[in-house]
Structure 1
Amino acid sequence: MRADRLVSLVLLLRRHDRLSATALARELEVSTRTVLRDIEALSAAGVPVYAERGRHGGFALLPGFRTELTGLNHDEALALVVAGSRRGARAFGLGSALTSGMRKLLDALPDSPRATATDAVRRMLIDPETDLLARRVEPEETPDGVLAEIRRAVVAGHRLRIHYAAFEQAPRWRTIDPVGLVGVRDQAYLLAIRDGEDRTYKLSRVLAAEELREPARRPEHVDLDRAWRERSTRFRTGGDQVTVLLRLSPARRAELAGTALAILAEDTEDDGRLRVEVTFQDPRHAIWALWQLAADGEALSPAWLREALRERAAAVAARYRDGH
């Protein structure tokens, strides 16, 4: 929305002595031509913005100019609530709202604390996009319009219709009572109640959503952290769990512990490798986890798992055996 962009432009100029059109375009994620049009619009509206020419020139506001534009809108306030990480805000469709909300928050501070806070933002990073090995997991995207509809229903306490594609099932519509939203690493989930039963939906599988005007049939108060722990426990202890005996390089032990549901037994062999008995959620989980270990792990039992990994490895080898 252009009005929000004009506000952001003014706040950017308030925070800096001057900024070039290129720098403003980069911050606002628009073209330099759009920035120049916005500058003209601000000037016509009486905002004392002027251009300084030369190598270190740019656009600036007259000294002493202040605005009353620091009031946060609804989405910006929500974004700051989930601002423990930028990915958390993006998971719920609030990435741009977080950026503009933080600008307003900084602008509301007196000059000295604002300078300190601005420098602190540059020097502290929570939950970066990659680890030290540059491994990056691309989050599964949900359309902004769908996220906004879900978000409104959760906050307003309204029932919700979602077109949901469960794993290996055809998409179908469901009417649910939303309880809350949870972001876990690169994934986001909707906790809800359907037909009196707790349900957990992966947001990336919601194809469409419609907020209804009916009040949600949900508890008035909720401890979302506790609700998530309880549902996680039920997930881990349900399903077609499988127990696997494997041989493992000690260097990959922590990775396995973070992937498996539980380590049941562990011993060290004469060559230094570990002999470990672990539990996985289901056969797919076991195959995936062992495949990630590559040559650092070997499934000893059950036999069907060894065969599944052998077939997968043979298929990959065949793909690379002959030409391109």
Structure 2
Amino acid sequence: MRADRLVSLVLLLRQYGRLSATALARELEVSTRTVLRDIEALSAAGVPVYAERGRHGGFALLPGFRTELTGLNHDEALALLVAGSRRGAQAFGLGSALASAMLKVVDALPDSYRDTAAGAAERLLIEPEIDLLSRRVTDEEVPGVVAAEVLRAVFAGHKLDIHYAAEGRAPEWRTVDPVGLVTVRDRGYLLATRSGEDRTYRLSRILAARELAEPAQRPDRVDLDRAWQERSTRFRTGGDQVTVLVRVDPARREDLVGTALAVITEETGADGRLRMEVSFQDHRHARWALWQLATYAEVLAPQWLRDYLHDRAVAVAGRYAGGQ
């Protein structure tokens, strides 16, 4: 791993020209002390890296220095394959591998192509951390050691022990047969079987993982897209789901659809408003989603949800009635 890091350090200096120890540490996800040790190791190996003092100083390479050490390792090649977005790689714990791989790809380009690509890249911003309303996009953290164990078990076809924290339950160890990995809206999921039954686990809820030597009980080939659709269908139609009949302003249709599990029926009423039957995961999900729509939506059924929204609105109105 250190050899990969040393190559990445050289490629960073080639790409940016000069970087401080702090900037290098941030890019390589290590401490500044580790960066300084790596700089010493490169110098001892004959790589012409030198330090520049002063406010805008840092480390740099002698002009014209090139390295041919641009071969991608396994994780870097894998990261490129799932790099439809950087968030996709992050969901599987491959964010640092993707950054390292992209450095090697850029360094391998001819000079003319590299300059053109750099200029074009400045004109593109893919999935920034905030949206137009300055709402920060939250990534689910998957510890690197957990992601590495899960990936190894999936690719090797071995059983996997996971310490899983299901919502509302105490964490417990489970032995599963991993089938594949899926990322949806920046969330990573492990598709597996347990005692022959299909199971789906959110990666961010796996607290620890251990790859086992025992072969997993799973088919040699898998259609992940089909498997995901089947599990999605079972999720939408099972459990403690709630069906709600609601009249909604057409301008807020997408807000409702974006929070609901599924749209069952939909029609336009004489008043121009939409009459929709939608499903939610449970009572809490339904209460939260409809409250967000305020007066843009009216629940027609069930009655318990109408009563809940009425009582909550009365309580809020009472809180703000009169002066302070």
Q: Report the aligned-residue RMSD.
A: 3.0
Unmatched 5+ stretches in structure 2: none
* 2:265 counterpart letter in structure 1: L
Q: State whether structure 2 residue 3 is matched by structure 1 residue 7.
A: no
**1:178: how far off?**
0.3
* 1:132 counterpart letter in structure 2: L
Comparing 41-50 with 85-94, greater Cα deviation is found at 41-50
Q: State whether structure 2 residue 188 is matched by structure 1 residue 191.
A: no
* 1:122 counterpart letter in structure 2: E
Distance 1:217 1:153 in 2: 12
Once the two structures are superposed, the pairs formed by residues 1-324 of structure 1 within 5 Å of their partners are 2-21=2-21, 23-29=23-29, 35-51=35-51, 59-260=59-260, 261-270=262-271, 272-313=272-313
**1:198: how far off?**
1.4
**1:126: how far off?**
3.3
1:142-187 CA distance string (max 9 Å, x none): 3322222111111111101112222333332221110111111121
Comparing 41-50 with 90-99, greater Cα deviation is found at 41-50
Distance 1:292 1:38 in 2: 52
2:199 aligned counterpart, secondary structure: strand
The share of aligned pairs that are identical, in percent, is 75
Distance 1:34 1:165 in 2: 34
Q: Could you say if the C-alpha distance between residues 218 and 181 of structure 1 is closer, same or farther in structure 2, counting changes exceeding 3 Å?
A: same
Distance 2:58 2:163 in 1: 49
Whether the 8 Å CA contact 2:92–2:188 is kept in 1: the answer is yes
* 2:136 counterpart letter in structure 1: R
Whether the 8 Å CA contact 2:131–2:137 is kept in 1: the answer is no
Q: Could you say if the C-alpha distance between residues 253 and 190 of structure 1 is closer, same or farther in structure 2, counting changes exceeding 3 Å?
A: same
Distance 2:323 2:38 in 1: 56
Distance 1:233 1:125 in 2: 34
Whether the 8 Å CA contact 1:160–1:209 is kept in 2: the answer is yes
Distance 1:303 1:203 in 2: 37
**1:57: how far off?**
6.1
Whether the 8 Å CA contact 1:264–1:279 is kept in 2: the answer is no
**1:66: how far off?**
2.2
1:168 aligned counterpart, secondary structure: coil
**1:78: how far off?**
2.0
Distance 2:126 2:120 in 1: 12
Aligned residues: 323
**1:266: how far off?**
2.4
1:123 aligned counterpart, secondary structure: coil
1:181-206 CA distance string (max 9 Å, x none): 11111211100111122111112222
Distance 1:51 1:165 in 2: 47
**1:128: how far off?**
3.2
Whether the 8 Å CA contact 1:266–1:277 is kept in 2: the answer is no
